Amino acid sequence: MPDALLGTLAAAAPATTAILLAAMGGLINRQGGIVNIGLEPLMLVGAFMAVVVSAQSGNPFLGLLAAVVAGGLLGLLFSWSITRLGANEIVAGLGLNLLVLGFFGYLLPVAFKIEGTLLPAGLVGLPKVNIPLLGQIPGLGPIVSGHDIVTYLSWLSVPLVSVFLYRTPLGIQLRATGANEEAARAAGVATLRLRDFSTVVAGAFSGLAGAQLSLGVVTLFNKQMTGGRGFIALAAFYFGDARPAMTALGAVIFGVFEAAGFRLGSSGIPSQLVQMLPYLVVVISLTLVAVRRDSRVRQRARAALASVAAAKVG
């Protein structure tokens, strides 16, 4: 393999982490029946809490914990507005985007006296962890080793989410809730609580994703730092039809796009066109899924008609 590609992949690994984690959270939420377009603000809250707590305590792992808790709590409030107070998830999600962005835009200059970047004294980023043996493989080593701990966690989250959704009673109940809430409730599933749980998980995952951006990729906070990754994560789990393996693949593809985007920019391919790709991929893959479903329905209708006709003749 050419070195340029290996280099891009090594850079793509940490660039994928936040997208992958938020996508896994959004996927669980989607399986529970809620389309969460608030992943972006949930990430931003995580990124902020991670920086503040890490700077205060000098311990980046406490920062991660704070980000998870903050993301989960905001996720719970968001979920209540949908499950208990009947809010439309899309409008509430757009509102959350505006509210959180506005909140940080207000908070940074007023409370921290800064316009752009928050870089508190004593802020400690996440250490890089080398994996023994694996890290020494030439070419492959820098791709699989030498990242922050959240990146490894994000890889681990894919099989864990898969096992949770398909092999545990709670996961199966969650999927049942998402597929048909009334039927699930009739079968004795606590659907509202499960949907809230799935949003809390989405919030916690997104919070952790944000913390990886503000303590892993860089060591600072500003209100633009999520840069649309929450929406790319949305694109990833739509691309993957809310299934863990395909969603992870989507997140990796989009992460590679992002890492490659910087390099392509200097090679003459417009960065706007590279950035556009995830969004276009979602529209195209949703269309392909729908066309296939549609033709299957038509085939079945044709078959049913044929059998009715045959029965009449018979």
Among 187, 291, 305, 306, binds other proteins (CB under 8 A): 291
Number of residues that bind other proteins (CB under 8 A): 48
8 A C-beta contact, residue 247 and residue 24: yes
Q: Which is nearer to other proteins, 71 or 230 (CB)?
A: 230
Among 50, 96, 123, 202, binds other proteins (CB under 8 A): 96
DSSP state of 129: E
Percent of the chain that is helix, strand, coil (3-state, to 5): 75, 0, 20
1-60 residues near other proteins, rule: CB under 8 A = 35, 37
Q: Is 234 in the site for other proteins (CB under 8 A)?
A: yes
Site string for other proteins, 250-289 (x = CB under 8 A): --------------------x-xx-xx--xx-xx--xx--
Q: Cβ of residue 253: shortest distance to other proteins, in angstroms?
A: 15
Q: Is 152 in the site for other proteins (CB under 8 A)?
A: no
Q: Cβ of residue 146: shortest distance to other proteins, in angstroms?
A: 32
A 10 A CB-CB count for 101 gives 16
A 10 A CB-CB count for 29 gives 32
| Cα distances (Å, whole numbers) of residue 281 to 158, 226, 234, 252 | 21, 20, 12, 13
- Distance in angstroms (rounded) separating the CA atoms of residues 147 and 101: 29
Angle between helices 229-239 and 244-267 (to 10 degrees): 130
Q: Which is nearer to other proteins, 97 or 212 (CB)?
A: 97
- Distance in angstroms (rounded) separating the CA atoms of residues 202 and 190: 19
- Residue range at the interface with other proteins (CB under 8 A); choices 47-55, 56-64, 97-105, 172-180: 97-105
- Distance in angstroms (rounded) separating the CA atoms of residues 189 and 261: 45
| Cα distances (Å, whole numbers) of residue 291 to 233, 238, 241, 277, 287 | 23, 15, 14, 21, 6
Site string for other proteins, 100-139 (x = CB under 8 A): xxxxxxxx-xxx----------------------------
Q: Is 294 in the site for other proteins (CB under 8 A)?
A: yes
Q: Is 91 in the site for other proteins (CB under 8 A)?
A: yes
Nearest by Cα to 68 from 202, 200, 199, 204: 204
Q: Which is nearer to other proteins, 137 or 301 (CB)?
A: 301
Q: How many helices (H) and strands (E) does the chain have?
A: 12, 2
User: Tell me, what amino acid is at 199?
Assistant: T
Site string for other proteins, 61-90 (x = CB under 8 A): --------------------x--xxxxx-x
A 10 A CB-CB count for 280 gives 11
Q: Cβ of residue 156: shortest distance to other proteins, in angstroms?
A: 28
- Residue range at the interface with other proteins (CB under 8 A); choices 15-23, 126-134, 233-241, 243-251: 233-241
Where do contacts with other proteins occur on this chain (CB under 8 A)? Answer: 35, 37, 81, 84-88, 90-92, 94-107, 109-111, 228, 231, 234-235, 238, 270, 272-273, 275-276, 279-280, 282-283, 286-287, 290-291, 293-294
